[in-house]
Chains A and B, each alone.
Chain A
C-alpha cells in the first residue's frame, strides 16, 4: 500500500508548505507589474486575513507536533499488507484505529448455500422434494507476502461437515511458478474445479458423476503451476498435481496410492469480445474393485472366498474447450458461453466369471458434455446441456441426457435457477438405476451469497 503512515505529520507538513507557498505567491504578486490591479482595499484585507489565519494554523500545528514529539510513540496501527476483504471491514469513520486494524486482518468470510428442489416427473423416488443440499463457508486471506490460504467448509444435508477445500498457494515463487498444497479440486478440465454453487447448471454433468463420483475429483496433495513462456506471450499454464484421491470412481483405491494429474491449458483472445480456452488433461492412479463386482460377490451364495484386488491401474484423459463471448461495453448484459469436455477412461477391471472366479481385463469408456448459455439481459440467462457418458467399469453401459436451464440473477449475490432434464439409459446402465431406463426430472435452485466471497476464475 502506498498510503501515508502518519497522516497528522503529513497534514502539518502540507499546511506549512501551503503557508509558505501562499506567502510566496503574495510576494510574487506584490512584486509583479501593477496592471491589472485588483481592488486594493478589499483584496489586501482579504489577503491579510488569510495570512493571519495561516499563521494561526501553523502555530497550532507546531504546538501539536511538539506535544507529539514528547509524548509516547503513536499507537495507530499501520495499514495491513493483506488484500482488504471486499466488504466486511467497517469504514474508516465508523471504527477506532485498533478495532479497524483487527477487522482488516481478519480473513474474508463468506457463506453460500443451495436450496434445491427436485422431482421426477415419472415416478416417486428418494430424490423428490426440497433439500438444503449444501452450505459452504469460505475463509480467504493472504498469509504473508509469500502465500495465501483459501478454506472452504462444506455442510451437506446428507453428510457430516467437511473441509471441501483447504489449501495454501504461494504468491512469490520465481520462474512464474505457483505451488499449492493441501486439499483441492484437481485441475481436471473446467467443471471439476468449480464449487457447486458456481456450476452453470443445477446438476453436475453425467460424465463427471460416472467417472469421478458425486463429488469433484479432489486430492490431498500438492500442485505446481507454471506459466510457460512463449513468443506470442499467450497464457499457457502447465499444472502438475500429485496427491491422494479422496473419493470417486476412477481413483478410489482401497490401498493408499497417489494420483497424478497433468493439465495443460492455453488462453486466446481472438477479439476484444471473444475468449477461447483449450485444455488437455491426463490423470493416472489406482482404483479399487468396481461396485458391480462387490455387489456380485456379496450376492453370490455359492462363491468360495474371493479377494478382489484392491489396487488396479486407472487413467483418465480429458479435452476441454471453452468459448466466452462478452462484449466489453455490455459485458454485464450480454454474454455467450460454450463449454465442452470429453473424457476417456481406461482402467483395469476384475469381473466375476460364470465359473465363479475372478477375471482381469481392461475397459475403456468415453463420456462428455456440451453446454451452451446465452444471456440477453442483466438478469436472465438460458442454457442447454447435452450429456453422453459411459461408465468406467463397464464396456456397454451408456446414458445420454438433455437439459434446459433458465437462470434469474436478482443481483450478483443471488441467483434462482430452473432446470428440466431428460435422461435415457441403455439396459446395462438402467440396471444401475433400479431398472429405470429413462427419467424426466425438474430442478429448482436458489443460491444466495453473503459476505466477501472471492471472485471466481474467468
Chain B
C-alpha cells in the first residue's frame, strides 16, 4: 500500500504541476501571433509578410527531404502554443505533420481548425494522378506537391498566409496586407524584371504567365519596333538561355520549376518517385544521355549523389545540386535569394563551366 500511495502521489503531482496556473507563466503568451511553418519556404514568405508582428518557428531545415522529416516530440512542444500552422499540403508532410499535430494538444492547429493553413489552397496543381497505385512509387494522390519551385505560386501562397494572419490578428491586418503587397511586388519584379513590370503591369504579366500565354504575349507585342521579350528581365529573363533545353532531374520536385522556365524534363534518375535507381535504369540513362537527350542533370541536396556522379562521369553531362527550400544552400537565405541561386546555377550549368554534383 505504501508503494501504491507513493505512485499515486507522483502521478497527482505531475498532473497538478501541468495544470497549475504558473504553467502559463512559463510560456507567457507574447503579443505577437505565434506561427509555425512546416517548411522553410513557407517560413520565409510568412516572415516577409508578418515581419516583427509574428513569432515564427520553422520545423524542417532547407537541406532536409520534406517527405521524411522525423516527427520528433520536440516539434510537439513548438506546436503546443502555436496560433497558426502553415503546411505545404498535397500530402507532402503526411508522414510527420499528423503525428506532431495530434501529439501537440493544441486544438487551434488541428486539421479543420482555423489555425491549420494548407498553403496549397488556390494553387494550380500539376500531375494529379488519374489512378493510384504504389506500383508507381511514392505517388501523391492530390498531385505534385512541389509547387513552390515555381516562384509565381508564391503569390498565391502569400495571399493565403496574409489572410490567415489577418484572421489571427485583425488589429495588424493593414500591416499584413502591406507586407503581402511588398512581397508580391518584389516577387513580380524578381521574376519578370522591374522594367517590364513598370511597362506592362504585374497583374497582366502574372495572368499571362499563369495562363501559359506569356511567350505569345511577349513575342506578339512590340514597343518601338522591338518585342516585349527584349524587355524581359529578372529570373525569367536570365533563364531564357535555357528555354526548351532538355534536362534530367533526380525526382519530380522540379516539375513546376521546369514548366515555369520552359525546360523540358526528359527523364528522372529515380525510376519511379521515391524508388532508388537500379543499375539497369542508370545504364539505360547512360545510353540516352550519350545520345545527347540531355546535357544537364538536376539533383537535390539531400539525396545520394553516387548515381548522378556516375551518370556525369559516364556521359560527360553536368550535374548540379539545386535546393528546393530556403536554407538548402548557404546562398539561399530567403525566398528571393533561393531563386537567385537556383536560376544562376541552372544557367551556369548550361552555359558555363560544369559545377559538378559533388558530395
Residues on A close to B: CB < 8 A?
Answer: 1-4, 18, 21-22, 25, 28-29, 36-39, 42-43, 46, 81-84, 86-94, 142, 145-146, 148, 169, 171-173, 175-178, 224, 226-231, 233-235, 237-238, 240, 260, 262, 264, 267, 269, 272, 275, 277, 282, 284, 315, 324, 326, 328-333, 377-379, 411-413, 450, 454-455, 457-458
A282, B7: Cβ atoms closer than 8 Å: yes
- B178 at the binding interface (Cβ < 8 Å): no
B302, A332: Cβ atoms closer than 8 Å: yes
B26, A231: Cβ atoms closer than 8 Å: yes
Stretch from B48-56, B128-136, B312-320, B350-358 that touches the partner: B128-136
Q: How far is the CB of A172 from chain B (nearest CB, A)?
A: 4
- B274 at the binding interface (Cβ < 8 Å): yes
Give Cα A82 to B110, complex, Å: 9
13 sampled A-B residue pairs with Cβ under 8 A: A2-B116, A42-B222, A89-B141, A175-B18, A227-B77, A231-B26, A237-B73, A240-B14, A269-B74, A284-B7, A378-B276, A411-B274, A413-B134
Q: How far is the CB of B308 from chain A (nearest CB, A)?
A: 14
B203, A22: Cβ atoms closer than 8 Å: yes
A81, B128: Cβ atoms closer than 8 Å: no
- B72 at the binding interface (Cβ < 8 Å): yes
Q: B193-220 toward A: CB 8 Å interface, digit per residue (1/0)?
A: 0000001010110010000000000001
- B15 at the binding interface (Cβ < 8 Å): yes
B17, A228: Cβ atoms closer than 8 Å: yes
Give Cα A328 to B61, complex, Å: 8
A39, B199: Cβ atoms closer than 8 Å: no
| A25-B201, A36-B224, A91-B129 known; A229-B64 Cβ under 8 A | no
Collect the chain A residues with CB atoms within 8 Å of residue B74's CB: 234-235, 267, 269
B27, A412: Cβ atoms closer than 8 Å: no
Name B220's closest neighbour in chain A (CB-CB).
A46
* CB < 8 Å neighbour of B112 from A1, A37, A86, A88: A1
Q: How far is the CB of B12 from chain A (nearest CB, A)?
A: 9
A25, B304: Cβ atoms closer than 8 Å: no
A1, B118: Cβ atoms closer than 8 Å: yes
Collect the chain A residues with CB atoms within 8 Å of residue B99's CB: 454-455, 457-458
Q: How far is the CB of B340 from chain A (nearest CB, A)?
A: 22
Collect the chain A residues with CB atoms within 8 Å of residue B139's CB: 87
Give Cα A359 to B60, complex, Å: 61
A267, B102: Cβ atoms closer than 8 Å: no
Which 7 pairs across A and B sit closest by C-beta, in order of nearness? Answer: A81-B112, A172-B107, A238-B14, A39-B222, A235-B73, A229-B23, A240-B11
Collect the chain B residues with CB atoms within 8 Å of residue A224's CB: 15
A-B contacts besides A171-B102, A411-B134, 10 pairs, CB < 8 Å: A2-B121, A39-B225, A88-B141, A169-B102, A177-B19, A177-B105, A178-B105, A229-B27, A267-B73, A275-B72
Q: How far is the CB of A24 from chain B (nearest CB, A)?
A: 9
A25, B132: Cβ atoms closer than 8 Å: no
A81, B222: Cβ atoms closer than 8 Å: no
Give Cα A309 to B231, complex, Å: 93
Give Cα A37 to B228, complex, Å: 12
A233, B27: Cβ atoms closer than 8 Å: yes
* CB < 8 Å neighbour of A326 from B10, B70, B80: B70
Residues on B close to A: CB < 8 A?
Answer: 3-4, 7-8, 10-11, 14-15, 17-19, 23, 26-27, 60-61, 63-65, 68, 70-74, 76-77, 80, 91, 94-96, 98-99, 102-103, 105, 107, 110-113, 116-118, 121-122, 128-132, 134, 138-139, 141-143, 160, 163-164, 199, 201, 203-204, 207, 220-225, 274-276, 301-304
Give Cα A46 to B213, complex, Å: 13
Q: How far is the CB of A12 from chain B (nearest CB, A)?
A: 15
A93, B73: Cβ atoms closer than 8 Å: no
Give Cα A260 to B6, complex, Å: 12
Give Cα A88 to B17, complex, Å: 42
Q: How far is the CB of A458 from chain B (nearest CB, A)?
A: 5
Q: How far is the CB of B248 from chain A (nearest CB, A)?
A: 20
Collect the chain A residues with CB atoms within 8 Å of residue B221's CB: 38-39, 42-43, 46
Collect the chain B residues with CB atoms within 8 Å of residue A332's CB: 65, 68, 302-303
A457, B71: Cβ atoms closer than 8 Å: yes
A173, B105: Cβ atoms closer than 8 Å: yes
Collect the chain A residues with CB atoms within 8 Å of residue B138's CB: 411-412
Q: How far is the CB of A407 from chain B (nearest CB, A)?
A: 15
B95, A328: Cβ atoms closer than 8 Å: no
Give Cα A90 to B132, complex, Å: 7
Name A93's closest neighbour in chain B (CB-CB).
B128
Collect the chain B residues with CB atoms within 8 Å of residue A284's CB: 3-4, 7
A42, B220: Cβ atoms closer than 8 Å: yes
Give Cα A46 to B303, complex, Å: 48
Give Cα A241 to B40, complex, Å: 38
A2, B117: Cβ atoms closer than 8 Å: yes
Collect the chain A residues with CB atoms within 8 Å of residue B27's CB: 229, 233
Collect the chain A residues with CB atoms within 8 Å of residue B7's CB: 260, 262, 282, 284
* CB < 8 Å neighbour of B113 from A39, A145, A377: A145
Q: How far is the CB of B211 from chain A (nearest CB, A)?
A: 10
Collect the chain B residues with CB atoms within 8 Å of residue A333's CB: 304
Name B222's closest neighbour in chain A (CB-CB).
A39
Q: How far is the CB of B170 from chain A (nearest CB, A)?
A: 17
Collect the chain B residues with CB atoms within 8 Å of residue A83's CB: 98, 111
A176, B105: Cβ atoms closer than 8 Å: yes
Q: How far is the CB of B219 from chain A (nearest CB, A)?
A: 11
Q: How far is the CB of A64 from chain B (nearest CB, A)?
A: 20
A2, B164: Cβ atoms closer than 8 Å: yes
Collect the chain A residues with CB atoms within 8 Å of residue B80's CB: 176, 227
Collect the chain B residues with CB atoms within 8 Å of residue A43's CB: 221-222
Collect the chain B residues with CB atoms within 8 Å of residue A142's CB: 111
Collect the chain B residues with CB atoms within 8 Å of residue A450's CB: 134
Q: How far is the CB of A8 from chain B (nearest CB, A)?
A: 14
Collect the chain B residues with CB atoms within 8 Å of residue A177's CB: 15, 18-19, 105
Give Cα A330 to B130, complex, Å: 32
| A92-B142, A237-B73, A454-B98 known; A330-B302 Cβ under 8 A | yes
Q: How far is the CB of B96 from chain A (nearest CB, A)?
A: 6
| A89-B141, A455-B99 known; A260-B110 Cβ under 8 A | no
Give Cα A447 to B17, complex, Å: 43
Give Cα A38 to B276, complex, Å: 53
Give Cα A330 to B301, complex, Å: 9
Q: How far is the CB of A274 from chain B (nearest CB, A)?
A: 11
Name B27's closest neighbour in chain A (CB-CB).
A229
Give Cα A233 to B23, complex, Å: 11
